[in-house]
Amino acid sequence: MNNAVALEYLEAGRWDWLGRQGLVHGDRMIAVVARTEIDYLAEIPRGRIEVRTSLESPSAEEFDEDDLTFRARFRQRLHLPEVARPAVDALVTVAFLDADQRCLVSMQDFLAASAVSS
């Protein structure tokens, strides 16, 4: 697979992670990639791949509903079946936008809009 396909897998993994948290893609408040740091560690042939996604920042201890947070950082890895070491290791930073106003919004606004949508 080429690097563009790896990025598509990572995006699908983030949306799956958000869905598992009860958050849905909103029409107005959206999460967009602001930065991607990616290491390609092994060749990925055609076939099954596992995407592992975790929220790295803000952690539960760092997150404050009364404070403003404008970015979230996800650690994502692509794994081949039965291979311990990841084939791709990525740190993806997302920002939150109001699609109508075309401006940055806080993570708290994004979460509130996602909760209303679900």
What's the pLDDT at 118? 46
Q: What is the pLDDT of residue 110?
A: 87
pLDDT score, position 35: 97
Token duo for residue 34: 């602001």
Sites in the chain below the pLDDT cut of 50 = 118
Element (H, E) at 13: helix 3-20
CA–CA dist 5, 61 (Å, integer):
34
**Among candidate residues 14, 26, 23, the one with its CA nearest the CA of residue 100:** 26
Average pLDDT of the residues of the chain:
89
Cα 63 versus chain centre, distance = 17
What is the per-residue pLDDT for 75? 98
- Give the DSSP H or E segment for 53: strand 50-57
CA distance 92 to 70: 14
d(C-alpha 85, C-alpha 42), whole Å: 9
What pLDDT score was predicted for residue 89? 98
